[in-house]
Structures are given as structure tokens and as C-alpha cells.
Structure 1
Amino acid sequence: MARIFNMMLGYRRGGVERMAAVYHRMLAAEGHDVTTIGHPQGWVRDLLPEGADFIGAAPLSAYDPRLNAALRRHVREARPDIILAHSNRAQSYAVRLDGVLRVAVQHNFRLKKRIRRLDGLIAVSPEIGEAVRRRFGTVAVEVVPNALDITPVAERPPRRKPIVIGAIGRLHGAKGFDVLIRALATPGLASRDWRLVVGGEGPELGALQSLAKRLGLADRITFSGWISDVSGFFSAIDLYVMPSRLEPFGLTLIEALAAAVPTVVTDTSGTRDIVRGREVALVVPLEDPEATGLAIRRLIEDEALAVRLGEAGRRYAASAYGPQTIGPVLSAVVGRFLASSVPIRVSAA
């Protein structure tokens, strides 16, 4: 088994941080010796199992030479076989390390030139993998979908009155929450008995609140801030809508499916790979409040369809995206990198 450094240097709470912690748990379960390197006060550390090996690393700037020196020392002392670098910041330090395979874990389409200086890349979706191949044809690319710790759900509770629609994610334009609010203002939905709960933080909060007020929906929409209990969030809603304009993977889509919540999702590159050819969600075009509104109405009016989609989604998510499925795939990918790659020699200090 391999000695692995799993590096995620971000401080904030988000999907990439969650996946770094999931990587640690999956690889440890597969028998690897895993140490996560992360911010000592960051969220990743809080998500790791009790007693997990952890090295604190807090960058003081975009590039911190003292941290670079410390990471080089850790590599010399621990002699890991491979570094898995989540996020651009972790990649920027990984390229400066010698004597170890450096593999990026690419969670989005923000591709940096430094990828050429790494020994390989794990893409979380086929679309990201293809984008990397087009831009950096010589980089060895493997595709490993994200995984979630999926707990089997009990039977869904009866629908609430008013029906509760949920959405969750960073309050950013790419997530399309403004499209969802406009969909709820369409004639067929504005007169219905519903309320919307939006979970998450981000720069668009004020604009979204203003939009809800302008459309006369402010008293029916709750912006609940950061959601720490994600499973509780999904158990407290009746329908889920993911109106993203851009979605590299679709982590919350998997969470909604796993919770058996009937779902409306936009046709993005990341979500398309999850739902393609499977009757697990209603798929609508990007930037289309009318189509989104019609899909929401359909799930409100056809409860049998909603239940059928929820059950199909639950079965699919548990079988395809649980750690018991993705863990062995990830372990095999690590093994292939170790078997076929030679570390690129670095000259940067």
C-alpha cells in the first residue's frame, strides 16, 4: 500500500474541502497510510476521523517560502510515495516538491499552467478530464467521481403544507439561484402554496434578497446561511432544485438523490454525467425560468412521479457514489500512477 500526502490548504467551508476529507477516509479504508496536510484552523481538519494523521500548514500569502521549506522537510522525513493536491493553492506548492509523485485532484474547470509541471491529474468528471486533455495533452489523466458518505434514509415524511422547496450552494452567479427565484414568480407557481429555503453563503446574498423582494416573494423565501447539518436540510424539504449555470460535478445533486428528494436540475456538464439516461431527476435547460417553473409544478402536481424519482435517485446514489464504490476505484488509480510515473524533477526553490 502507498504512503500518501493528501493536501488541501484552503481555510473556508466548501465542497473541495469536504472531498479532501472523504479522500482521506476512503484511502485509509483501502489500507493506505494517509496524512492530510491542511490549514490548522481549516474545515478539513474538523471533518477528518478522530486520530487521523494531520500536518498543519497555513500559507501566510499566495506563495509562502517558509511553508514551501516546511513542506519540503515533511517530504524528506516522511518519504511519501505520492501527493494528492486538491485546489489551485495546494497544486502551487506541490509543483515545488522533489522526490515524490505530485498528482492534482481537479474539482473544477479553472485550469492553471502549473498542471504541466505535475506528474498526473485526477478529474472528478469526464468533462473536466477532457478539458485537461485538450489543453495539456501530455498530462496523464484519470477520472474518479466524487464520493459521499451515504447513510440509507428512512421513509420520506409526508409532504408538508406549504410544500418546502430547497436549494443549497455558494451564493454565486454560477449557481443560478436568481433563475430559481424567477421561476417561482412565474404565473403557474406564484399562486401556489410553497416556501423556499436557500442554504449557503456568498457574495450574491444581497442581490438575491433584493430580487425576491422586487418579485413579491420575500416573505416566502428564507436564506438560512451556512448549512452544517446537510442531511437534516434534505430531510426538511419536499423538493430540491439545482439551477446552476455551471456545475463541474454536482455534489449536492448526489446528496439530494441519496436523500430520496425529488429533484429538478439544470443540464450542466457535471450534472449531465450523473443523470444521463437515468430517470432520477427532471432536467431543464440553463437560464430558463419558465422551464424550471414547469418542472417544479410537475413535481408538485404529480406526487406519484415525485416519489418514483426520489426512490430511483436514492438507489442510484447509494450504489454509484458511496465510498464502498469509489474507494476501490481511487485506490486503483493511485496504484496506476505509482506503477507508471516517474517524478518530474523540480528546480524551483
Structure 2
Amino acid sequence: RVVRAADPALVLSHGQRPARLFARAAAPGTVMAVCVHKPVFDVTPDTHYLCVGRHLAKLAIERGAPVDHVHFIPNAVTPPSVQAAPFARAGHSVRIVAAGRLHRKKGFDVLIRAIAHLRAWGLEATCEIAGEGEERPHLEALVAELGLGGDVALSGWTADVPAFLASGDIFAFPSHQEGFPLTLLEAMAVGLPVVASEIDGPIEMLKDGVNGRLVPEDDPDRLAEALGELIADRPAARAMGQAARTLVLSQYGPDELARRLEVVVDLMLTKT
């Protein structure tokens, strides 16, 4: 009813299910566009694709979308009102934080195994994972199996993600598959040193050793090594955190998103 009443020149959908519904209601000649967040999507004729990652834009073209109908618009985050102070808590164990849906693709089991390695190496570090999901029983069992009940906490959803992230010393992102991850952007925005899987998405945001660390996917040993290196060289870790914050605030804020979106909307509306 909204589409038919408004008779829009352009309809932008987040996901293909609403796009299919709106396409049925829209008048002939309406520009149809879909924002693509994940690699699971189909290409339909005369549809524009706004991709949050360059790897997703490449996929859209490979699947048959015309080059001039594919646009790269990365995700953005609101500048946080809090800022992390990594390693500033004297007398406390290093606090590693992570956040996301407790799903197999997020790789939190890899992080838990990495924490076990840190403890075996004599490094005092705790880990708190904020989020909820179907993997909770498996992750809780793994924590118990590795004897990490006092070191790893699964704290559920948090109402204030930036504040939670800013409470940490290091952010870990062991995911197996991503688009252009908002949680990683949020961690970078508060100035946390980050360690992320070297996969599509994070590799577009991070330069290893400059504004974060990249490690092979599904490798708890390498993840633990990178975390240990940040713990051992805290000035370098803080510098990476600040470099990450500077990047996000300058390139991935609301103003940049609005600028990019305005350019693409104008471009789509001029296409015949």
C-alpha cells in the first residue's frame, strides 16, 4: 500500500525478500535497488546492487549484474561517546572482548581455544563475549571442557555495545564469514586494538600491523599468538587502536555514508 500510494521513483530494499514484494507493487519504470550485506543473494535483471563490501560487489558482477548497476557503499557507525583506554587498569588481567550472535560462523569456539592457549603460556587474560544464539550450549560446554570457567564469560546481549567494547583492552573477531562487519567497525571506533580473521570484509578495513592484526581463519594458535603479541607490546597495540579509530571516524561515519549514498542515488535515478 505504501509503495502504490507514494509512487516512488526508487525503492531501496535491505535484502531480497522485501525487494521481491516491492517489485510487484511498484509502477513500471521504478528504479529497484537492493542493499547486499551477505554473499547469499541472486541477481535479477534491471536491479541495482548496493554492496557493503568490495568482495560482494565483485560477486554481483560475477553473477551477471551489469557493472554500472553495482555500487560499493561500506557500512558506517555513529561516532561513539566513549573511548577505550587499553591496558590502563593497573593490577588487572588483560580483558579481551568480543561481540556478536552466538552462531557457528562467528568462530567464538576458536577464540575460546585461543584463550586456553594464552593461559597455558602463563598470560593472564580474561575474555567476555557479548551476544546470544543457538551456539551457547556448545560454547558453554567448550568452556567447561577447557577449564576456563573463571576466564571466559558468555554475558548475553548488551544494551550499550560501545560502552561494552570500550571496557576491554583488546577486541577479538574470529569470524568465518562477513560482509562489512559493524561490530568490528564499532570496536575500531572506540580505539581498541583488534585481531580479526583474514577474510573478506575485515581485510578491506584492516592493514595488518598498522591498524590491527589479521590472522588465518579457524586457527586458534595464530589467534592466540597475535593476542599475545599485542599484550606483550602494549605501546604498539595502543597505536594500532588509535589508527583504527582515526580511520573509522574519517571514512566510516554517517556523513561519509550520506555522501556516498547521495552520489549513488543520483546515479541510479539518471540511468535509463
With the shorter chain as reference, the TM-score category is over 0.9
- Other-structure match for 2:160: 229
2:39 counterpart of 1:109: yes
- Structure 2 counterpart SS, 1:95: helix
- Structure 2 counterpart SS, 1:315: helix
- Give the direction of change, closer, same or farther, for the CA distance of 1:246–1:145 in structure 2 (3 Å limit): same
Q: How far did 1:232 drift?
A: 1.0
Please point out which of 124, 143, 148 is paired with 2:72: 143
- Structure 2 counterpart SS, 1:325: helix
- Other-structure match for 2:269: 338
- Structure 2 counterpart SS, 1:327: helix
Letter in structure 1 aligned against 2:258: G
- Give the direction of change, closer, same or farther, for the CA distance of 1:324–1:183 in structure 2 (3 Å limit): same
Matched residues in 1 for 2:130 and 2:169: separation? 15
Q: After the TM superposition, which of the residue ranges 275-284 and 318-327 deviates more from structure 2?
A: 275-284
Instruction: Show structure 2 runs of 5+ residues with no match.
Output: none
- Structure 1 counterpart SS, 2:201: helix
**Could you state the TM-score of these two structures normalised by the residue count of structure 2?**
0.92
| Structure-to-structure mapping, 1:22-37, within 5 angstroms | none
2:113 counterpart of 1:168: no
Matched residues in 2 for 1:224 and 1:196: separation? 10
What is the percent sequence identity of the aligned residues?
32
Matched residues in 1 for 2:172 and 2:63: separation? 33
Greater relative contact order: 1 or 2 (C-alpha under 8 angstroms, separation 6 or more)?
2
2:151 counterpart of 1:220: yes
- Structure 2 counterpart SS, 1:156: coil
Letter in structure 1 aligned against 2:211: V
Q: How far did 1:152 drift?
A: 5.8
Please point out which of 199, 210, 222 is paired with 2:141: 210
- Give the direction of change, closer, same or farther, for the CA distance of 1:243–1:83 in structure 2 (3 Å limit): same
Letter in structure 2 aligned against 1:167: A
- Other-structure match for 1:68: none
Cα deviation code 1:126-154 (max 9, x no counterpart): 10010011012337111100111113645
| Structure-to-structure mapping, 1:303-342, within 5 angstroms | 303-341=234-272
| Structure-to-structure mapping, 1:1-349, within 5 angstroms | 73-99=1-27, 100-112=30-42, 115-117=43-45, 119-138=47-66, 140-151=69-80, 153-154=82-83, 156=85, 158-159=88-89, 161-186=92-117, 191-276=122-207, 279-341=210-272
Matched residues in 2 for 1:118 and 1:171: separation? 37
Contact 2:215 2:226 in 1 (8 A): yes
Matched residues in 2 for 1:301 and 1:193: separation? 11
Contact 1:240 1:261 in 2 (8 A): yes
Matched residues in 2 for 1:173 and 1:121: separation? 28
Letter in structure 1 aligned against 2:169: D
Q: After the TM superposition, which of the residue ranges 206-215 and 134-143 deviates more from structure 2?
A: 134-143
**Could you state the TM-score of these two structures normalised by the residue count of structure 1?**
0.73
What is the CA RMSD across the aligned residues, in angstroms?
1.8
Cα deviation code 1:93-134 (max 9, x no counterpart): 12323222210000010113xx31452110101100100110
Matched residues in 2 for 1:155 and 1:179: separation? 24
